[in-house]
A and B are shown apart, each in its own frame.
Chain A
Amino acid sequence: MTQPRYRQPVSLFWWTRRRSYLLFVLREMSSVAVAWFVVHFLLLVTAVHRGAGAYQEFFEWSASPLLLLVNLVALAFVLLHAVTWFNLAPKAIVVRMQGRQVPPRAVAAGHFGAWLVASAVVFWVLVVML
């Protein structure tokens, strides 16, 4: 007869036990910041529709201490998302050309480069052009 096995329990707070687990959970929570961006952005566009007054008020509302704090935290989280995403991209996208694997660093660098370009274009359109 088999003797009883001991099942090692997994704590509800397993993700606090190691730094790497905590960083993982923070990375995953960044998706909430991404969703928040969508909400804030749609409120912005709604304000644009309503007219110049509402548009101005939107920025005043966004400058209130609570909103500012929320968006600063959101900024930190979306930066975490971007950096971890591009660093992990080479693991997901393995390209073999002429029998050799494209170096992972090149794949990551390509992503960071694209990020720089995209950000520059958006910045230019919203700050310089308009």
Chain B
Amino acid sequence: MPDTIMLQVTRYRPESESAPTVQEYEVPMREDWAVLDGLNYVKDHLDGTLSFRWSCRMGICGSCGMTVNGDPALTCGKFLTDYAPGPVRVGPLANFPVIRDLVVEIDDFLHKLPQVKPWLVRDDDGGVEDVEFLQTPDQLDAYKQYSMCINCMLCYSACPVYGIEPDFLGPAAIALAQRYNLDSRDQGSHQRLDVLATDAGVWACTYVGECTRACPKGVDPAGAIQRYKLTAAARTLLPWGKR
């Protein structure tokens, strides 16, 4: 096995450039190194000016999403040896504005997420002191898959509709709305309808399915959206739907 592998990394320095460029770095190819380890090697030994986000290194925080050889990926979960002999093209997550190098602006998602009220909504005004919600394993099963989302936004990066239509609510936001809609403890699905059943909500989705392919946690946002379309249509059109 060769000793090293070439990383071709997107650089963008807004103070001195108007568009990104590509810089090459040769990093050691260790068997247990992920692309993220390669980037950290660059930062520590080759070029301290390289900027990128990362945290847990184990696929649970969702911070290190980037475009690797054209695919949205968590760089902590893609191993250098998978790309041997290289080179490996590392760029910022597609469909997001680039702040610097590999760091993208995620404000749009952070603005959209609270709109779907991703928390348990109750009609009754019970406080938190004496409340215990019981749930059977089957009830948990109904929404568990959608609760696996780590907000890494690989799905937004994969979604061609989001790339063309920035107003689209997007896969993760809708999947998270479904996580609560389908939770037996929640009573807020009628409130979420107002945001989900709009032109920029589920109706913008044409079921490309790339979001599900890109998702590192098996959430299947495409399925979540597809399921909701029937609910959204029924509740929007039928006057006697539950309000």
Is chain B in direct contact with chain A in the complex (CB below 8 A)? yes
Flag if A20 contacts B209 (CB, 8 Å): yes
Flag if B226 contacts A7 (CB, 8 Å): no
Flag if A3 contacts B230 (CB, 8 Å): no
The count of chain B contact residues (Cβ–Cβ below 8 Å) is 37
Contacting B at CB under 8 A, from A1-45, are: 3-8, 10, 14-15, 17-18, 20-21, 24, 28
Q: How many whole Å from A102's CB to the nearest CB in chain B?
A: 13
Flag if A14 contacts B97 (CB, 8 Å): no
**Which residue of B14, B94, B209 is within 8 Å of A8 (Cβ)?**
B94
A91 at the interface (CB under 8 A from B): yes
Flag if B94 contacts A24 (CB, 8 Å): no
Known: A5-B99, A7-B97. A91 touches B226 (CB 8 A): yes
Flag if A24 contacts B208 (CB, 8 Å): yes
Flag if B210 contacts A8 (CB, 8 Å): no
**Which residue of B15, B94, B208 is within 8 Å of A3 (Cβ)?**
B15
Contact partners of B14 in chain A: CB under 8 A: 3-6
Known: A6-B12, A20-B213, A21-B160. A88 touches B94 (CB 8 A): no
Contact partners of A14 in chain B: CB under 8 A: 160, 163-164
Q: How many whole Å from A43's CB to the nearest CB in chain B?
A: 31
Tell me what chain A mostly uses at the interface: helix, strand, loop, or mixed.
mixed
Flag if B98 contacts A5 (CB, 8 Å): yes
Q: How many whole Å from B90's CB to the nearest CB in chain A?
A: 14
Q: How many whole Å from A2's CB to the nearest CB in chain B?
A: 9
Interface 1/0 per residue, A66-94 and B, CB below 8 Å: 00000000000000000000001001111
Flag if A92 contacts B92 (CB, 8 Å): no
A96 at the interface (CB under 8 A from B): yes
Contact partners of A50 in chain B: CB under 8 A: none
Contacting A at CB under 8 A, from B109-124, are: none
The count of chain A contact residues (Cβ–Cβ below 8 Å) is 24
CA of A92 to CA of B160 in the docked complex: distance in angstroms? Answer: 20
Contact partners of B164 in chain A: CB under 8 A: 10, 14
Contact partners of B141 in chain A: CB under 8 A: 99-101
Contact partners of B138 in chain A: CB under 8 A: 99-100
Known: A3-B15, A91-B222. A21 touches B208 (CB 8 A): yes
B168 at the interface (CB under 8 A from A): no
Interface 1/0 per residue, B7-37 and A, CB below 8 Å: 0000010110011100000000000000000
**Among all A-B residue pairs, the 6 with the closest Cβ atoms:** A99-B138, A5-B97, A3-B14, A6-B98, A91-B223, A91-B226
Given contacts A3-B15, A5-B14, 15 further A-B contacts (CB under 8 A): A5-B98, A6-B12, A6-B19, A6-B97, A6-B98, A14-B160, A14-B164, A20-B208, A21-B160, A21-B208, A24-B206, A91-B207, A94-B227, A99-B141, A100-B141
| A–B pairs, 22, beta carbons within 8 Å | A3-B14, A3-B99, A5-B99, A5-B105, A6-B12, A6-B98, A7-B98, A8-B94, A8-B96, A8-B98, A10-B160, A10-B163, A20-B210, A21-B160, A21-B210, A92-B226, A92-B230, A94-B227, A96-B142, A99-B139, A100-B141, A101-B142
